[in-house]
Chain A
């Protein structure tokens, strides 16, 4: 242990106004390790990493990098010392090329830019990651995982010695996650220290050398990852014994709730047909980019599509817009909470009632009734907020998601499509959402869950449809539902025998 830690927090506190969110945190991150930082939303992980990344100064206490005290005033200061924070939401200029992004703010060349040199160096940084991306391609044209790799390349091109990654796998599929993990291990072998923030405890277990658990602004424990199971990590995060994450699965009913035939979304999905029953939780598995989200956006008329037939509760319906769908009893929760789900600058009340505003118009809006609806929803869905008259952006991820769920359920739908319902949500809120999904199914509604977290799909759904390149390639239920099976279908190693496909999928 002759080498000083790559980074160390010594008795760091952080207060926002009168509220202290870190109460004396001391953690050492050894050089060349993968150090996972876990904790529920609000535990202080983000604050801690922003302090190290130079985005916020600590209120008291000291931060050291390679054994020397540092006082970062900005992320540039931190970068100069080799500490780079990769945000969960990418900091890339979509209209610039990969190389232009990698060198953004420190372009090569004098009066005129030296594009050739920048392209060559960006190429070198990308090859170091064994990533086949042309440095001249525009970031806009890259997939989400590719953008992530560009972020990492950008950090490496800045000589990052300490890389802080905030939930890097939040939007990656199993296979992409594996690629990223190989990359992280590769970086570790090259001596890069990685501070890894994640909600996915299995990943932490698989990847990290050391795990630090934060709860309510304090370090609960910090030690080798090999000594903790994911279950123990979860228990330490919430400070109590967690029950099983998933409620026992109910029995789906016989009644057909939703039947979709010949749905095609150009460029995304072809000839989709499926049936959902009352009381059923139907999972849609597949890689990111396999077309699951686009399929349902097409179904709701949010994208150009062709549609054979849709029956909702036995009746043929026309779905030209989300409004049509809501009236027919079909609602959709977007995976993109901030971009498509919530009006983050609006207060909770108008967010809750946006889809069902007709119930409050008499013809002037009855604000009092809206407020009562909010109070009821806060109680029913466990939306925790100190005060209810705040903007949605002030809620934590989990509470925002509960609010978004409450909105679509206000319409009293029959069929509920949930796209990544637990993305960016902490363990406690996750379980509440699982229980809610179960309650909805128990009450006879049909729930469709799209998720990139396989254990979530396996734990919740009674039946799974696997989508690959815009087609439903497999249907699994009961004992067939296993991680291996799903991955084989999702990656194209296995395909449903063509002669049986129609009959299986038309199970109504």
Chain B
């Protein structure tokens, strides 16, 4: 349509309802917390909230990366398998290094390897998707299987455990606190802030949004779309690695079930947060809220006995569909 009704004169303000709608995830989380507190006052204790946030940190950090991928119009289904592979490889590497390097050195080396593997996996994804011109859904569906089966092979179907000394030295990364706040929560906050800054206030973030909104337009406007997309997958890989290196000291081992279905939770957090699955627009704070919301649901089921905690995934699934339903009207315009 070349003619918009009334054109220049009619440039409607976003309605009050639409503005309220954009706060939907936050309102939903608030409502859920009120209900949770009413059902079980223990919910609002500091230790429980800190527990919820720590657990949300893993999914949340991965979901921040997924926000970039999804806004650019892509998808990464492999993050759960990637986390398992990174965890297993990291432990194997750390166990193999001679103790002469010192515990601290070994842990630092393990973390570095984790980040390199994550970035490498992302680079592989991005390159195959852009240069090979294969749908991201297909590529990452393939690596979802590949990553997990490699880990299963490495662990021979069992688990890979970190040596006892290393495990003790590493555990503060998960259990430790700084200024009374658990380290995973601090890292999560830092990743979210940095992600928000990159997405909203840098050239790269603008290019990510432009690419997702209309790749052709971005290309014609002299944006290096290929590079932009590859970098989103590298960011995703780094986020997975970061989440994993926080997660490893929790159990001190990796097994074929490590990170199972994390991709679903990460993508769900992004969508609940208000990022459009078709790309083009999205927000990091929404993703953060989405991740917390998902973990809160599980927590509430654990604390109360109304719905069995075995139905956790079902309740989360219902929430995702409801959120998608509520966002449905806004996008049509």
Contact = CB atoms under 8 A, between A and B. Distances in A.
B217 A342 contact: yes
A371 to B, nearest CB: 14
Given A365-B201, A386-B9, A41 B221 contact: no
B193 interface: no
Contacts of B224: 321, 323
A346 B201 CA distance: 15
B222 interface: yes
A43 B4 CA distance: 10
A326 interface: yes
Contact of A332 (B217, B220, B223): B220
Given A17-B12, A364-B202, A339 B217 contact: yes
A46 B5 CA distance: 8
B206 A354 contact: yes
A283 interface: no
A355 B210 contact: no
Contacts of B197: 364
B281 A341 contact: no
B8 interface: yes
Nearest to A336: B216
Contacts of B214: 339-340, 343-345
A302 interface: yes
A47 B217 contact: no
B217 A424 contact: no
Contacts of A14: 5
B203 A365 contact: yes
A318 interface: no
A289 interface: no
Interface in A341-368: 341-346, 350, 354-355, 357-358, 360-361, 363-365, 367
B305 interface: no
Contact of B5 (A47, A167, A326, A367): A47
Interface stretch (A115-123, A391-399, A456-464): A391-399
A323 B222 contact: yes
Contact of B3 (A41, A323, A342, A346): A41
A339 B220 CA distance: 10
B257 interface: no
Given A46-B2, A339-B216, A340-B216, A386 B206 contact: no
Contact-residue size bin, chain A (C-beta under 8 Å from the other chain): 35 or more
Contact of A343 (B1, B4, B11, B217): B217
Interface in A213-263: none
Contacts of B206: 350, 354, 357, 365
Given A41-B7, A88-B2, A385-B11, A340 B220 contact: yes
A88 to B, nearest CB: 7
A311 to B, nearest CB: 20
A42 B7 contact: yes
A124 B223 CA distance: 48
A387 interface: yes
B4 A396 contact: yes
B213 interface: yes
Given A339-B214, A424-B2, A321 B222 contact: yes
B204 to A, nearest CB: 9
A342 B213 CA distance: 10
Contacts of B12: 17, 394
Scoring B4, B218, B219 by chain A CB atoms within 10 A of each residue's CB, the highest score goes to: B4
A44 B1 CA distance: 12
Given A46-B1, A46-B3, A365-B206, A322 B10 contact: no
Contacts of B4: 42, 393-396
A345 B280 contact: yes
Interface string B1-31: 1111111111111000000000000000000
B3 A341 contact: no
Contacts of A364: 197, 201-202
A436 to B, nearest CB: 19
A19 interface: yes
B8 A42 contact: yes
Nearest to B216: A340
Given A345-B280, A397-B3, A386 B11 contact: yes
A390 B11 contact: yes
A386 B3 contact: no
A384 interface: yes
A386 B10 contact: yes
Given A322-B221, A384-B8, A386-B11, A396 B3 contact: yes
A45 interface: yes
Scoring B12, B202, B214, B220 by chain A CB atoms within 10 A of each residue's CB, the highest score goes to: B220
A407 interface: yes
Contact of A41 (B2, B201, B222): B2
Given A302-B220, A325-B222, A167 B213 contact: no
Given A302-B220, A321-B222, 6 more contacts: A21-B10, A88-B2, A339-B214, A340-B217, A397-B2, A407-B221
Interface of B: 1-13, 197, 201-203, 206-207, 209-210, 213-214, 216-224, 280-281, 333
Interface of A: 14, 16-17, 19, 21, 41-47, 88, 167, 302, 321-323, 325-326, 332, 334, 336, 339-346, 350, 354-355, 357-358, 360-361, 363-365, 367, 384-387, 390, 393-397, 399, 407, 411, 424
